[in-house]
Structure 1
């Protein structure tokens, strides 16, 4: 790969995740303080991510893989996304905001697969080269959070009170427009599937891989994957709102610690995997969810602020040790015929069904523990901690797979 192409792909990844990090992290405080949304309304807005994940396979499978170059569709989707971001910036009511964010997520979620497609089309050895390009996406997310907190101070108490968080949508929209235009200069990535070849709905959604559920251990893993997404949704929906509400300084900037730890623990994962195996690795990931929420429940912005920082820093363990490990396990269980379908099925189960349920539950719990005195954050965090602990026990008791799994696919 030439240096010029590597720089282009790295910039593409940087902008792709800068856009997401520029508005999604602060969405909770924006909805609650600027649009005065209820917990249920906030959950409905966050669930648009899940609807986007469910619809994305159709866009990729029916359009991107069959008719048009991936880089061109990427450009068009981001230009349209910039228009919707501007409408979100102007919205003054959650009922007006919702259709725009739903439309945006339906457009954005497919781009996550498209940037990978464009990258892999240029990479000779994905195992060795992809991580050095993908890491720029994490850096982009971190830069967006640092800019919000330390450059613009939009998430400061005065900034939140003054409604400055709406500026995050303008920033994301500008970045989306830039990436949209830039995409047309990316290396050509033609469609892979011949236009005359029929693709079934079950293939698009990865439903062909349902045959794997005949394996009891895989079925336990599959169910656990859906259930663990319920506490995961609490983090996405409530963490920023929680830190803002208890007046933690520069909350968005501090949440970038989670992305930093994600990079660190990704490097540690192959070592842990090799030494302790799949079951223990994934159990550590589940236990980390329960521990981080307990930290949030009992920490505060004062003398116990270190507990909040530890909770945020555990994001790398939570995400890498469960989700990345799960992708490796799924790949090992699926034969060559079902590898892509199996990954699609797990994505649909987690970011689709699991997160959809999770955002709904998180919204109900947030409303149930909200009063004139404010949110009872201790209970709001203890409930997902209990759910994560229950999933941990479920998996520990019923998952019996002793087979060895290759870990080369997570080497960076």
Structure 2
């Protein structure tokens, strides 16, 4: 690996180490350290969605026209370091919420910026980007392993002592490091300097014409709906595993990212052999199975059910979201490629997850009593919801041929 690739891989490692270092344990931290209830937890997690909605404006208005991508990346991570440190010091939800909202508004645009910096430096990005992006997943895994097995912050006794707040301090240091490191990266000047700004292109609205296609319209709707079960995983998985007595829960959850890497390699084979319809259906079916396993698993004899549920993350994410990005790319053609990806991202990580986190918060609150959460009922809700989306999709969506060239894409979690 040449020096440019090593530098880009280091950037990607830190980018996702930061995210994985606090987001996975956020639900547990909110409940244990700040005594947050279900709706408040949903509000905190939904800041990711607000960041995803605002991100196109920051990238389109600033990075694409006025400032080098690596410099904006550095500024945003330095701002993030300050906000992370303040989140580490927060002692109540009222103080914490505006800080996490500000942080996600700063962080979410950096997901596109690290891609822009990478694409700007690679000679053959369509072939080489996957080699860089995989280090982001490694960074996410490393964060979970550090939390569980190096520091033990998610051990039952450590959680009771409030040690999870240290994840924010760790990520503040990492964010400071990445912020300073970004200014040493090769220059990536604004590609759209002097070009006309169109709001429709900024939000991907030019691609709305694709919704005239029944298959794509159904896929678009299903993508939004399946984000509701997805939000339950992000918001509740770590608190659930901790509550039922799973030791080193954060470290064990990295099994999902390992699975993601493996199934990313298998994805082109499935798309070529079985087609987009079967691949998407397998992804949705995995969500149903995962939540059923969570509903009936436990930290004792049912531990294997929980581990399988975590390991299904690769199928859940890759077979639906990544294959969906490939499908969207193939349907868009040259005219709407960028706009279509922007639209599907806005719909899923913006609108879909915003709804999902709210629903997850309300459902969790509905099944919470003075004695704790009824986790079986909490997990059966997204299982049934994902099952309904699966049936709808299976009945209406017609198979299509999708050209697969080994694309690797997108945000990992």
Query: For this structure pair, what is the TM-score category when the shorter chain's length is used for normalisation?
Result: over 0.9
1:210 to 208, 211, 215: 208
Secondary structure of 1:334's counterpart equals: helix
For residues 339-378 of structure 1, the aligned pairs below 5 Å read 339-378=337-376
Secondary structure of 1:24's counterpart equals: coil
User: Residue 143 of structure 1 corresponds to which residue in structure 2?
Assistant: 142
Deviations 1:375-401 (A, max 9, x none): 00000000000000000001001112x
Shift of 1:14: 0.3
Deviations 1:167-208 (A, max 9, x none): 00000000000000000000100000022x221221111011
Q: Is contact 1:328-1:407 (8 Å) kept?
A: yes
Establish whether residue 404 from structure 1 lines up as the match of residue 401 from structure 2. Answer: yes
User: Residue 60 of structure 1 corresponds to which residue in structure 2?
Assistant: 59
Deviations 1:66-113 (A, max 9, x none): 000000000000000000001100000001100000000000000000
Give aligned pairs, total. Answer: 409
The list of structure 1 runs, each at least 4 consecutive aligned residues, that deviate by more than 2 angstroms after superposition, is 409-412
Shift of 1:373: 1.4
Q: Is contact 2:122-2:128 (8 Å) kept?
A: yes
User: Residue 332 of structure 1 corresponds to which residue in structure 2?
Assistant: 330
Q: Is contact 1:153-1:250 (8 Å) kept?
A: yes
Q: Is contact 1:269-1:410 (8 Å) kept?
A: no
Secondary structure of 1:338's counterpart equals: helix
Q: Is contact 2:122-2:129 (8 Å) kept?
A: yes
Q: Is contact 1:266-1:410 (8 Å) kept?
A: no
Establish whether residue 282 from structure 1 lines up as the match of residue 280 from structure 2. Answer: yes
Deviates more, 1:74-83 or 1:334-343: 334-343
User: Residue 311 of structure 1 corresponds to which residue in structure 2?
Assistant: 309
Taking only aligned residues, the RMSD between alpha carbons, in angstroms, comes to 0.9
Measured in 2, the distance between the counterparts of 1:411 and 1:8 equals: 20
Measured in 1, the distance between the counterparts of 2:358 and 2:183 equals: 38
Measured in 2, the distance between the counterparts of 1:374 and 1:67 equals: 51
User: Residue 322 of structure 1 corresponds to which residue in structure 2?
Assistant: 320
TM-score by length of 2: 0.98
For residues 9-88 of structure 1, the aligned pairs below 5 Å read 9-88=8-87
TM-score by length of 1: 0.98
Q: Is contact 2:295-2:380 (8 Å) kept?
A: yes
Secondary structure of 2:210's counterpart equals: helix
| Gap regions ≥5 residues in structure 2 | none
User: Residue 153 of structure 1 corresponds to which residue in structure 2?
Assistant: 152
Measured in 1, the distance between the counterparts of 2:245 and 2:67 equals: 48
Q: Is contact 1:270-1:411 (8 Å) kept?
A: no
| Gap regions ≥5 residues in structure 1 | none
Establish whether residue 193 from structure 1 lines up as the match of residue 226 from structure 2. Answer: no
Q: Is contact 1:19-1:172 (8 Å) kept?
A: yes
